[in-house]
Amino acid sequence: MMNDDGIMRTIIELPEEQVKALAELCESQNISRAEAVRRALTKMLANQKIADRDSVFGAWKSKKMDSRKFVDALRKEWH
C-alpha cells in the first residue's frame, strides 16, 4: 500500500546470514537498512533493463531480410 508521499512500506523475511551481512554493510556505509535495500533494488532493476536490451541486440543477424528494406516496406504501407 502506498502512503500519501507515493512511498510503499513493505515487510520482507531474510535468513539470518543475510540479516548479519546487511547489518555489516549498513554499518560500514553508515546507511539504514531501508537505504541499502533501495540501492540493491535500484541496481537489480537497472541490470534487468540491460539484460532485456541485450536479449534483443542483434535480433536481425539471422534474418534473410535487410532491416533497412524491411523498414522501408513498412513505411510504404502508411501511404
Q: In 3-state terms, what secondary structure has residue 24? A: helix
pLDDT at residue 67, as a whole number:
77
Query: Whole-model pTM above 0.85?
Result: no
pLDDT at residue 1, as a whole number:
62
pLDDT at residue 28, as a whole number:
97
pLDDT at residue 78, as a whole number:
86
Task: Please work out, in degrees rounded to the nearest 5, the angle formed at the alpha carbon of residue 22 by the alpha carbons of 10 and 1.
Answer: 5
Give the dihedral sign, CA 67/70/72/78. Answer: negative
Ranges under pLDDT 50 in the chain: none
